[in-house]
Amino acid sequence: MNLNATTDRATFVTHLECSLTGERYAADELHGLSRVGRPLLVRYDLAMVRATTPRALIEARPTDLWRWRELLPVRRTADVVSLGEIETPLVPIPKSGGANVLVKDEGRLPTGSFKARGLVMAVAMAKALGVRKIAMPTNGNAGAALAAYASRCGIETIVLCPDDTPEINVREIALQGARVYRVNGLIDDCGAIVAKGAAAGHWFDFSTLKEPYRIEGKKTMGLELAAQCRWVLPAAIFYPTGGGTGLIGMWKAFAELEALGWIGAARPKMFAVQASGCAPIVKAFDDGVEHAERWEGAHTIASGIRVPKAVGDFLILRAVRESGGIAMAVEDAAIEQAVQHCARDDGLLLCPEGGATLAAYHAARARGLVSADDQCVLFNCATGLKYPMTDASKTLDRHAEIDLAAL
Ligand SMILES: *Cc1c(COP(=O)(O)O)cnc(C)c1O
């Protein structure tokens, strides 16, 4: 970690801003959504960052998440909480993807998913702003990251998840110190309970995009990717989209990097990938509208993207459209096939959401939206080890005659 390079000082944060109306909000105060119920975005004095922080200074630091501190909201080193947020590798998958396909493997992060990026930032800010108790609805990975970081700095957590959340998530959340409840509903049903308790003053609401700092943490994916690609962004990004925090965050990162003069105007095509059993963003994209309707009867094995309603829908759609990409849905069968293909032939175990991006990549190739020559980055946002796997083993009786040649 690289905390000594920057001494305690005011960060470059100037204010927060409503993502819909542009209304300004003061930094250093606790905020949820804006007055019109939309996410708040953190704004920085980028001219000052540009004047004081050469790109080479960042490049000379260790490659962890905190190297980006000038573009992050945490003011005091004492408020930083960390479990070792490493830079995640870009892993080629030449057989299951192609010669120019890289997987950004976020499964290497603390708690096994990229939710660590968002939650490390949100928890650090909650700590800085004096929050003592947090509640969150989750499909699993966000709850695990929240529990880990909050426990580490003594903040109490209550986590609500759909009752069919992968078993391992529910258990790790509890082990990491949260009180976890299974709810007979979907993530937005859990969110309604959290909102009710927050309104009654029981806790602070940490739902996706309902506090301003998770986007800032997820933004580091875009910053990191730019540095890894030597400041020339790839042709396309395939992102498994639930609440869309990462896609929105990366889009924001690219704008900030351009304002700093660290990258040019070229942007990747952003592909928002959803499962066909829960594709509200795809429907809104195809319908040409700005906001998505709730998706009824949502179902998919890719639990991380089973989000029927996203509060940042218009931000996702705006980024996808501006980039020249599209929102696309893939079937669960294609997801399973992609996971198997990548594991068997390239040795990389994707999570189902990561499998969805690989399936979407092939669909995009077939439709001519990207070519074999385009460098494409697929986001695998959690380790495949956190998900149920089919048992393909056979048994062997060590007391019987074993036909070794036939094994
Ligand atoms: C949360 C999650 C997603 C979706 O991320 P958003 O930024 O909220 O859209 C994708 N994959 C996995 C594994 C996740 O845990």
- The per-residue pLDDT for range 114-135, each reduced to its tens digit, is 999 999 999 999 999 999 999 9
| pLDDT exceeds 50 at position 5 | no
Gap between the Cα atoms of 297 and 235, Å rounded: 34
Residue nearest to atom 4 of ligand 1 (CA): 242
| Location of structure tokens 């540009």 | 50
Phi first, then psi, for residue 16 (nearest 5°) are: -110, 160
Q: Which amino acid is at 57?
A: L
Mean pLDDT of the chain: 95
- H-state helical runs in 229-351: 245-259, 280-287, 313-323, 332-346
242 CB within 6 A, ligand 1: yes
Residue nearest to atom 6 of ligand 1 (CA): 244
111 CB within 6 A, ligand 1: no
As a whole-number percent, the residues of the chain with pLDDT over 90 amount to 95
Q: What was the pLDDT predicted at 9? A: 55
Ligand 1 centroid – CA 242 distance (Å): 6
176 CB within 6 A, ligand 1: no
Contacts of 400 (CB under 8 A, 6+ apart): none
| Location of structure tokens 């258990």 | 171
Gap between the Cα atoms of 93 and 95, Å rounded: 6
E strand or H helix at 327, and its extent? strand 327-330
Ligand 1 centroid – CA 370 distance (Å): 23
The 10 Å Cβ neighbour count of residue 200 is 8
Mutate to test the pocket of ligand 1, among 109, 111, 113, 315 (most ligand atoms within 8 A of CB): 113
Ligand 1 centroid – CA 306 distance (Å): 9
Q: What was the pLDDT predicted at 308? A: 94
Q: What was the pLDDT predicted at 1? A: 36
| pLDDT exceeds 90 at position 200 | yes
The 10 Å Cβ neighbour count of residue 331 is 15
Q: What was the pLDDT predicted at 8? A: 54
* Local confidence band at 390 (pLDDT 50, 70, 90 cut-offs): confident
Task: Output the pTM of the full model.
Answer: 0.95
Gap between the Cα atoms of 119 and 144, Å rounded: 10
Mean pLDDT of 338-342: 98
- Taking the CA of residue 351 as reference, the ligand 1 atom at the shortest distance is 13
Ligand 1 centroid – CA 123 distance (Å): 18
Question: Which residues in 338-366 are b (16+ Cβ under 10 Å) and which e?
Answer: bbbbbbeebebbbbbbbbbbbbbbbbbbe
Mean pLDDT of 71-91: 96
Ligand 1 centroid – CA 10 distance (Å): 31
Ligand 1 centroid – CA 382 distance (Å): 8
- Of 344, 140, 143, 223, whose CA–CA distance to 358 is shortest? 344
298 CB within 6 A, ligand 1: no
96 CB within 6 A, ligand 1: no
Mean pLDDT of 100-124: 98
Ligand 1 centroid – CA 241 distance (Å): 6
Q: What was the pLDDT predicted at 171? A: 96
pLDDT, tens digit, 9 for 90 and up, residues 210-252? 999 999 999 999 999 999 999 999 999 999 999 999 999 999 9
Mean pLDDT of 152-171: 95
Mean pLDDT of 342-358: 98
Mean pLDDT of 92-118: 98
The 10 Å Cβ neighbour count of residue 185 is 16
Burial of 235 (0-12, 13-18, 19+ CB in 10 A): middle
In this structure, what DSSP letter does residue 367 have?
T
Residue nearest to atom 1 of ligand 1 (CA): 304
CA trace torsion 66, 72, 78, 81 (10° rounding): -60
- Taking the CA of residue 246 as reference, the ligand 1 atom at the shortest distance is 7
244 CB within 6 A, ligand 1: yes
Q: What was the pLDDT predicted at 388? A: 87
Q: Which tokens belong to 324?
A: 């020249």
Q: What was the pLDDT predicted at 2? A: 39
